[in-house]
Amino acid sequence: MTLTAVRALPSRAPARPGGAPRRRPHRHRRQDALVGYLFIAPQALGIVAFVLVPLGLIAYYSAHEWNVLAGTFRFVGTENFERLFTDPQLGGVLQATTIFSIALVIANLTLALVLALLLNRRMRGVGFFRTVFFSPVVVSLVAWTIVWGFLLQADGGINGMLATIGIEGPNWLREGPTAMASVVIVQVFKNVGLNMVLFLAALQGVPHELFEAARVDGARPSTIFWRITFPMISPTILLTVIITIVGSLQVFAQIAVLTQGGPGTSTTVLVYYLFQQAFQFGKFGYGSVLAILLFLIVLVLTIVQWMLRRKWVFHEN
């Protein structure tokens, strides 16, 4: 067995007897800084290469018309941005994106919280159920979606099960409302386990004394939840709301595999529309503008949530 001695770092420089704190020599401070930079270098390079450069390129491409096949690259100024206001499909795309995101966030967080509350107890088999609900998170997204695609076909497994009890199921992926609902449900079941685990961790961090005190005072379970549990896990709720909203705006594979944006354009969300414009129709300039639009939507939503946290997140007000 190997023991590693770790020297505790002082929280501040020790005071010199009878004088000002001793400053480290300039050479040592430069060495420390260099080590620090080396530590962050891989992450910084990754951000530069895979975030900042693509962001810059997107801005650059958005002002150009790039015909890949013809090999032409022409500056068009704000033409691609102006198209945002005349694109007859964009309104429907944003509507589908909004419906998907709202439905996903509500369904995912509600189910995750309910599961976390149910599984935050000492009972037989709790570990098994936690594993069952978390396991879809580690399954390949495309494989998961393809299997659901088979289940949701008109003659698929779900309608087969419904038929055994005398119910004629709808054509899930070919009718507007059920297609959107199907995509949401497939995504909820895929990722609800992650939020469930986050909620579980938060629930287990709430001091038991608070619950005991509330019970002694005669508080009802619903009062305990809304007055103690909910406020105490509100930082985690904020986190899950942000990552779920951001994730919902990035949904692509489920749409591509299950509905290809249809029927009609009822499930054509912004990322899928961006993909169509840029990669299927070869309109990389307009596709870049849509990417900027998506970036701004995510940015604004995140900033708004961050600002609102003071209103409802415990420890922040």
Cβ atoms < 10 Å from Cβ of 199: 23
The pattern of x and - marking residues 73 through 92 that bind other proteins according to CB under 8 A reads: x-------------------
- Taking the complex as a whole, the smallest distance from the CB of residue 36 to other proteins amounts, in Å, to 11
In the complex, least distance from residue 103 CB atom to other proteins, rounded to whole angstroms: 21
Least separation in angstroms between residue 271's CB and other proteins is 15
CB of residue 264 to other proteins, shortest distance in Å? 5
Instruction: Report in angstroms how near the CB of residue 235 gets to other proteins at its nearest.
Output: 27
Does position 153 interact with other proteins (CB under 8 A)? The reply is yes
Per-residue binding string, other proteins, 172-191, x by CB under 8 A, is: xxxx----------------
User: In terms of Cα–Cα distance, which of 175, 134, 202, 203 is closest to 259?
Assistant: 175
Residue of 13, 15, 34, 68 that binds other proteins (CB under 8 A): 68
Residue number with CB closer to other proteins (53 or 303): 53
C-alpha span between 291 and 283 (Å, rounded) = 12
Which of these, 263, 299, 128, lies nearest to 182 by C-alpha position?
A: 263
Of the chain, the end-to-end C-alpha distance in Å amounts to 47
231 contacts 314 by C-beta, under 8 angstroms = yes
CB of 155 to other proteins, least distance (A): 5
- Does 169 engage in binding with other proteins (CB under 8 A)? no
The span from the CA of 4 to the CA of 1, in Å, is: 10
* Strand segments (E) across the chain: 64-67, 72-75
Instruction: Considering only CA atoms, give the Rg of the chain.
Output: 26
CA angle at residue 11 from 7 to 15, to 5 degrees? 100
Q: Which residue's CB is nearer to other proteins, number 136 or number 263? A: 263
Q: How far is the CB of 314 from other proteins (least distance, A)?
A: 31
Binding part of the chain for other proteins, among 21-29, 140-148, 165-173, 221-229 by CB under 8 A, reads 165-173
Distances 265 to 100, 130, 277 between C-alpha atoms, Å: 13, 37, 14
Q: How many residues bind other proteins (CB under 8 A)?
A: 37
Among 69, 165, 216, 307, binds other proteins (CB under 8 A): 69
Stretch touching other proteins by CB under 8 A, among 61-69, 121-129, 183-191, 225-233: 61-69
Convert 220-281 into a string of H (helix), E (strand) and C (coil): CHHHHHHHHHHHHCHHHHHHHHHHHHHHHHCCCHHHHHHCCCCCCCCCCCHHHHHHHHHHHC
The secondary structure of residue 173, as a DSSP letter, is T
Judged by CB under 8 A, the chain residues 239 through 298 that form the site for other proteins are: 260-265, 276, 279-282, 284
Chain positions contacting other proteins, by CB under 8 A: 33, 44, 48-49, 52-53, 56-57, 60, 66-71, 73, 153-156, 171-175, 260-265, 276, 279-282, 284
